A and B are shown apart, each in its own frame.
Chain A
């Protein structure tokens, strides 16, 4: 317990009051910031190895734990994707690959990458590490709950992976788990596999809710003095909005997973109509499969933004720092994030244009979907306008950002194809969709994750990553990934349906054999290139250049901790006080090209800095 810290805090709060001097008749102090509303948070400091590194309540350690576990599952997802591509490019090359296995790999790859990798990595990993640091909090508001959150995630991953070893194997019903086929014979893993999947998802949602409450309340109620919402880095805004979406969207997933489990275990008929299977009428009757699709996509579409919004936020910060220029149109960026988040609850059925739902829904959802394109486009403009007239450091971090812009714009525009109801009809359920969502919520967020790793590794580890390896890593990944997914759109134009184990007996599809082999080869190379990063991290931990404080000359609070890497409690004796937004780069008249958030106005009176 840190009783002594509390006392320090009180002294500090008092001193700032005396400075304010509003009532004493002296001219108001331009550095005045309201005193702290709340007493300093008291934290539980671990002393043993177990409480310090395993069941740890420090958000930073939890963040790293999330990061490592998510990466581990991500690597499993990567290996599954290799196996799939092997089958698609070179059918029969892997002797054990049956249709059952193929569909199981497709399903597990999808679910792992979307939920257990990207969601956990962005919100659990970056969220935990960065939120308290960037908002100037000592830790998350409920450290104990935060710890439980991670271990729930751990159990969820365990249950998920356990499904590989049960009779029948993991579920092979596609990551959307559509009933009736998800729980009927004829789909691999329709026994234990699907039950474990549902249980794992329910655990994940429960665990995530605990973490999510922490992120939200920390951002809303535990910011440091002077840190207004409009002075938060866009990273925090992205993670914040994504967490709100998660809190409101995961319930639909929870409910649909629960109902499907009941359909499977108790033979209820929520989603199951009368079904004839092998000449026998099953005991089900009266349910509607489309209801599941509505519930699933009521979760599923916000989920897309749960992955995308943190990426938007992080990339904004990286671009701004490394082009030494303020983010262009900060307010617009914040509003765009919030509006995208809010609208994402009104667009879900654009995944269902050809599902047989009420035909009139097409008008409603096409309109709402295309409205989202406007704030999204504004964000893109603002990123490139931030580059404009900047002073761009073309280091590894910036390369990832540029890669993100290219892939994201590409994937965003194919999104307009699929969101516009008529255009979607010929393209839906084809490889165009696969190419689109991999580009926009696979590769683009991955580019950001990589950029963020290169950017924040010096903070976490105190050492720099190798730039040379980083550049190799970037170019192989970017060019490789682009050459996987760009041509894949054309498979969709031809009309090749997705989720085909084999496709070569149709004449117009046969023409794509060469392309599939090319795509598969690229996929192997890109996947392998990711091990460059792991090598880079392992080596740099030992022999990397010491980073020192604030190696990128950034403004936001996480670089301004008294120690690097920051310790438990983040700020030593005194919480930072914030006077400005985190984007005061290249201010005319300033000595250096950056003004950290903690620099009081009195120190920069001679500059032309704008009040934020």
Chain B
């Protein structure tokens, strides 16, 4: 965290010389980083490549179709008080997801302060934010499907629009949904005090620790991060 962890017999150096020393040292390369946290980071790196491949395909596909690409700001407009507001729903979804990201960040902080109640409630809030997001996505999908947008065709222009839209937001939505499920589980585990008493996991028989909240937090922020890119490339382009 803010200051380097204390490790017996190891002197931390800052910056790149610290990086060289960490890399050259024995036992661990990421000093003081929990195994699970390191795993989550590497997994997210791999997941970044998945989403990058999706977005690159989308970019290539959109860039090479001679047909007109539907204008997202019209397609995703929503009528508010009788006036079509461009990207209204998307803006709200973004707002909700960022809100949930913020509550997650605070949950991690309170987790490390071993503030069980606060941590649990914040995770629950995050989960509800995620649930709202998924709900709005369901609404958005059904609205588009109602308007005739299909993965293989749509009334607005290039057929690839629907293909990429459903695939990319679907894959992102799956990530959010998985995250929501885990958030609820972790909220339960937090309130039940599994992280305070180091209760072993159901399957993995590993001892519980508040670091798990941070690990889940990384995942959740990543989902938010991906949304930033989808928002920019899919809705604003």
Contacts and interface: CB of A to CB of B under 8 A. Distances in A.
A–B direct touch in complex (beta carbons closer than 8 A): yes
Interface of A: 1, 17, 20, 33-38, 44, 141-142, 144-145, 209, 212-213, 216-217, 220-231, 247-252, 254-256, 258-259, 262, 266-270, 283, 285-288, 291, 294-295, 298, 578
Contact of A248 (B9, B25, B38, B46): B46
Contact of A259 (B65, B152, B167): B167
Nearest to B203: A144
B35 A141 contact: yes
B162, B163, B164 pick with most chain A CB within 10 angstroms: B163
A164 B46 CA distance: 32
Nearest to A214: B39
Contacts of A259: 57, 167
A609 B29 CA distance: 26
B181 to A, nearest CB: 17
B10, B28, B46, B60 pick with most chain A CB within 10 angstroms: B46
Contact of B61 (A248, A258, A267, A291): A291
A266 B152 contact: yes
Given A142-B39, A268-B151, 17 more contacts: A20-B9, A33-B26, A37-B7, A37-B8, A37-B31, A37-B32, A142-B204, A216-B42, A220-B28, A221-B28, A223-B26, A228-B26, A231-B26, A250-B46, A267-B151, A270-B164, A291-B60
Contacts of B162: 268
Given A33-B26, A221-B28, A262 B8 contact: no
24 contacts: A34-B9, A37-B10, A38-B27, A141-B39, A142-B36, A209-B46, A221-B38, A224-B27, A225-B27, A227-B27, A228-B25, A228-B26, A229-B23, A247-B46, A251-B47, A251-B49, A251-B53, A254-B50, A267-B152, A268-B163, A286-B65, A286-B158, A286-B159, A287-B61
B205 interface: yes
B45 interface: yes
A115 B107 CA distance: 42
A417 B201 CA distance: 54
B26 A266 contact: no
Interface in B1-43: 7-10, 23-33, 35-36, 38-39, 42-43
B26 A578 contact: yes
A224, A248, A270, A298 pick with most chain B CB within 10 angstroms: A270
A142 B35 CA distance: 9
B42 A217 contact: yes
Nearest to A253: B53
A213 B215 CA distance: 14
B163 A270 contact: yes
A433 to B, nearest CB: 26
Contacts of A229: 23-24, 29
Nearest to B63: A288
Q: Which range holds the interface residue count of chain B? A: 35 or more
B204 A144 contact: yes
Nearest to A298: B53
Contacts of A37: 7-8, 10, 27-28, 31-32
Contacts of B46: 209, 212, 247-248, 250-251
A248 B28 contact: no
Given A224-B27, A578-B26, A291 B151 contact: no
B197 interface: no
A20 B46 CA distance: 41
Given A142-B39, A209-B46, A247-B42, A266 B151 contact: yes
Interface string B49-62: 11011100100110
Nearest to B52: A251
Contacts of B23: 229
Contacts of A285: 159
B160 interface: yes
A1 B205 CA distance: 9
A255 B35 contact: no
B39 A217 contact: yes
A228 B22 CA distance: 10
Contacts of A247: 42, 45-46, 49
A134 B35 CA distance: 19
A251 B35 contact: no
A217 B61 contact: no
A270 B57 contact: yes
B57 A291 contact: yes
In the complex, the 5 A-B pairs of residues with the closest C-beta atoms, listed nearest first: A251-B49, A34-B9, A268-B163, A255-B53, A251-B50
A236 to B, nearest CB: 13
Contacts of A248: 45-46, 49
Nearest to A1: B205
Contact of B152 (A220, A268, A294, A295): A268
Contacts of B67: 286
A400 to B, nearest CB: 32
Contacts of A145: 204
Contact of B54 (A141, A222, A255): A255
Given A255-B54, A288-B61, A213 B152 contact: no
A18 to B, nearest CB: 13
A291 B151 CA distance: 18
A36 B167 contact: no
B10 A209 contact: no
B129 to A, nearest CB: 27
A295 B38 contact: no
B163 A220 contact: no
A212 B76 CA distance: 40
A443 to B, nearest CB: 31
A213 B42 CA distance: 7
Nearest to B29: A220
A352 B167 CA distance: 27
Contacts of B204: 142, 144-145
Contacts of B38: 217, 220-221
B234 to A, nearest CB: 15
A255 B61 CA distance: 14
A221 B57 contact: no
